[in-house]
Structure 1
Amino acid sequence: MTDTTSQPATTSNARNLFQKLELDTRLLGMAGAFILLCIGFDLLTDGRFLTPRNIFNLSIQTVSVAIMACGMVFIIVTRNIDLSVGALLATSSAVMAMVQTQILPHALGLGFGHPMTWILAMASGFLVGTLIGAFHGWMVGYLAIPAFIVTLGGFLVWRNVAWYLTSGQTIGPLDSNFLMFGGINGTLGTTWSWVVAVIAAGLALFAQWNARRSKASHGFPVKPVWAEITLSAMILGSIFGFIAILNSYMIPERRLERMFEARGEVMPEGLEVGYGLPISVLILIAVAVVLTIVARKTRLGRYIFATGGNPDAAELSGINTRLLTVKVFALMGFLCALSAVVASARLANHSNDIGTLDELRVIAAAVIGGTALSGGVGTIHGAILGALIMQALQSGMAMVGVDAPFQNIVVGTVLVLAVLIDTVYRKRLGAK
């Protein structure tokens, strides 16, 4: 007689394991898909995809879109959309490039290398991005113009404002201190990368322990000790493994020689130095931590998700949804300017096509990461994972030799499938 109970029992045990670990099965599915994607491209590229060099490049290429995707989560959660993020990035980048190459040298006599040049340039970009974002939010919240129309108009306006600011020219080179935020020109080095890893691991374990203590003090059930230890091991493995990979990517010998020559020194023979954690990736981690805290621990975050869940009920409960819309779009504008810093610093100049199609990549990353277009649901870490999946797809296809048009076809197909899977997943959750 055939045993028909083994398969259901196995499925039930796996489900119980996930429940005890309190892991998001959808997030696990995304992580599994990303791992399979990386393994597949590594096989197709004869082991070139999962090298330390490519992982380093993949990480710095993901940052710009991932930062904006974090802000797009809040936009979509409140049942809005922002189609202007790529154009806003271009405008902020153009402003910062003109400030440090034209305005500061002529108006204040501050040239490249001055400690205030990069600070004032970035401050100007942040101011412009935040004000434009707030203006969009004001039109959406107070004038009741649909966000789709406002930001579609912004997409056309700000892309061409950026062109006029620079007369369509590439502006560069940029200040060396400014370039440190792009990735390859600014890393922490191996020692400080390990220091950051230890600090991050300590904070993660403290947050996990504090959450367990808080649950216990309020009488809520807590995970078994073995589940806590398993999660801790997964967290520590991810942090230290990532840093170990980045530290194993060595600075090319000729580049290292030039770095010593610039300091008037002679490089010791046989010296090898790893790049370590890029400053741009550190910025992304900081943005993710801050916005996660905002989403989970602050009144603003509760208001954002309450408004997205039911706007009418949120307004009746006393939430100023119009002002909230302005705040969310202003935050999106600030994050666009921050992404402009990373993107232009990575390229070492401002180019006319910077940020092109980023609005589609940002929305796709947020949606693939689990942000519901119907509003009220979304996570910051999911958006970052979505951005990583998008970048891995594009980088992998480029390494395999896939044409750019077909790459866009694949990305568009993945976006539609992600929305379909998300819709089916949420319907099943609702049915249960």
Structure 2
Amino acid sequence: MADITQSTSSGPRTAVEGPFTRFLRATEIDTRLLGMIAALLVIWIGFHFYTGGLFLTPRNLWNLSVQTTEIAVLATGMVLVIVTRNIDLSIGSILGFVAMIMGVVQAKFLPQYLGFDNSFTWVITLIAGLLVGSAIGLLQGVIIAFLGVPSFIVTLGGFLAWRGLAWYVTSGQTVAPLDTTFRIMGGGAEGAIGATWSWIIGAVACALIVVSIIGARHQRRRFNFPRRPLWAEYVLGVLGCVMVLGAIWVSTIYYWPPAIAKRYAEANNITMPEGGLMIPYGIAVPVLIAILVGIVMTFIATRLRFGRYVFAIGGNPEAAELAGIKTRWVTVRIFALMGFLAAVAAAISTARLNAAANSQGTTYELYTIAAAVIGGTSLAGGTGTIAGAMLGALVMQSLQSGMGLANVDTPIQNVVVGAVLVIAVWLDTVYRSRAK
């Protein structure tokens, strides 16, 4: 059977379409995703000029990627919550509570039995945090699903309760320092994988992009679905690989500070060159964690029955119930998953700060909701993507980072974030009204 592509437009319609519109139709690129990328570029370029060239530097971009990870991880779960027409206002407080639990476990409890910096400390700490976070999410999900209390009220109560319990764990004291291995999850000089492994991961990522494009085309041909033109497949493959390799390149031209490199050389008996030891950071470990979470959550949302149930409930809860979907248990699992992801974000946050503090996660619920909405998740339910939410998190963090470099006062930063959230919801309303 010949590999031909089905025409997607008629003669009169093609006559009024411009080259860019035909390009989008052929490549099937989501226009909302493309709009977010364009907005992100505008933000980056604008702040770069406004800050006198400080924004688009390897150092700032590397730090930006690390700072985005916590909100990005939380946003992947918030997508499923909002898709089912629920909301979770407690994730920032859950993050703070779980962070305090993990800090106490590794700094006060385990040293009594295992000593400091034991090889199992970070494993036990992480497992304890994930279990606590999942249990909190499970509890809130049961109350919402089986007791009929609206998610807004339950999570608003959690917003207050878990923040109060976080203070109660240590009576407001900050817990530090933390386990050395555990700190790797937070990034920094020792929390990055270096240039060699970064390029290996980049090559693997490019290979997976090509394989996924070929696999998708094969599946369309198998089921006799319309296929993209071959040139569109090549363009998508090249664009994907360029973006991946570009990100790898930026991470490998940012080097360890001279003082850290000197200590490393002395500890490993390395002779310092005349110009200093140039050790590239490479990809940060928390960024890899966030990417892995994004891949797994995308698989759950698009490939598993659970994901289909989530979007079915968001589209029409009554119809989903009549179709035999156990909507209550799906809701419970969504909030348990949200609690699990809050614990993952808590581990990254605690490791990055090398401390567990009561202020961790403050306002994170607002930034997470904003990231999901900016990423195309509709507050009316039924619509949302994991990739869009993670890109929305990058947009939010870029605004924060840029305003910080521009010395914008914190109250003004909050005004900007609030305005962006309102505008994002308004654009979503306009988009849905035009799509009808």
TM-score (ref. length: structure 1) = 0.96
1:163 aligns with 2:167: yes
Residue 267 of structure 2: aligned partner: 262
Summarize deviations over 1:149-187 as a string: whole Å, max 9, x none: 000000100001111112101100100100000011400
2:18 is paired with a residue of what secondary structure? helix
| Aligned equivalent of 1:282, options 282, 288, 297 | 288
Q: 2: distance between equivalents of 1:413 and 1:272? A: 42
Residue 326 of structure 1: aligned partner: 332
1:238 aligns with 2:243: yes
| Aligned equivalent of 2:182, options 158, 178, 184 | 178
1:414 aligns with 2:420: yes
One-letter amino acid of the counterpart of residue 300, structure 1: F
Residue 408 of structure 2: aligned partner: 402
Summarize deviations over 1:61-87 as a string: whole Å, max 9, x none: 000011001000000001100000000
Instruction: Verify the 8 A CA contact 1:77 1:376 in the aligned structure 2.
Output: yes
1:308 aligns with 2:306: no
Residue 212 of structure 2: aligned partner: 207
One-letter amino acid of the counterpart of residue 213, structure 1: H
Q: 1: distance between equivalents of 2:35 and 2:323? A: 37
| Aligned equivalent of 1:136, options 125, 137, 140 | 140
Summarize deviations over 1:232-252 as a string: whole Å, max 9, x none: 110000000000001000111
Shift of 1:253: 1.4
Residue 193 of structure 2: aligned partner: 188
What's the RMSD between the two structures over aligned residues?
1.2
Instruction: Verify the 8 A CA contact 1:370 1:383 in the aligned structure 2.
Output: yes
Instruction: Verify the 8 A CA contact 1:171 1:349 in the aligned structure 2.
Output: yes
Shift of 1:112: 2.8
1:151 aligns with 2:193: no
1:350 aligns with 2:350: no
| Aligned equivalent of 2:63, options 37, 57, 80 | 57
Q: 1: distance between equivalents of 2:114 and 2:161? A: 31
Instruction: Verify the 8 A CA contact 1:38 1:50 in the aligned structure 2.
Output: yes
Q: 2: distance between equivalents of 1:398 and 1:9? A: 48
Residue 26 of structure 2: aligned partner: 20
1:176 is paired with a residue of what secondary structure? coil
Residue 116 of structure 2: aligned partner: 112
Q: 2: distance between equivalents of 1:77 and 1:316? A: 19
Residue 341 of structure 1: aligned partner: 347
Unaligned regions of 5+ residues in structure 2, if any? 1-13
Unaligned regions of 5+ residues in structure 1, if any? 1-7
One-letter amino acid of the counterpart of residue 343, structure 1: S
Residue 96 of structure 1: aligned partner: 102
Q: 2: distance between equivalents of 1:264 and 1:241? A: 33
Q: 2: distance between equivalents of 1:112 and 1:181? A: 18
| Aligned equivalent of 2:323, options 297, 317, 327 | 317
Shift of 1:216: 0.7
Q: 2: distance between equivalents of 1:9 and 1:409? A: 45
Residue 5 of structure 2: aligned partner: none
One-letter amino acid of the counterpart of residue 125, structure 2: A
Instruction: Verify the 8 A CA contact 1:68 1:362 in the aligned structure 2.
Output: yes
Q: Across the two proteins, how many residue pairs are aligned to each other?
A: 421
| Aligned equivalent of 1:84, options 78, 85, 90 | 90
Q: 2: distance between equivalents of 1:265 and 1:123? A: 37
Summarize deviations over 1:28-50 as a string: whole Å, max 9, x none: 01100000110000001111100
Instruction: Verify the 8 A CA contact 1:365 1:387 in the aligned structure 2.
Output: yes
Q: 1: distance between equivalents of 2:264 and 2:130? A: 31
Residue 252 of structure 1: aligned partner: 257
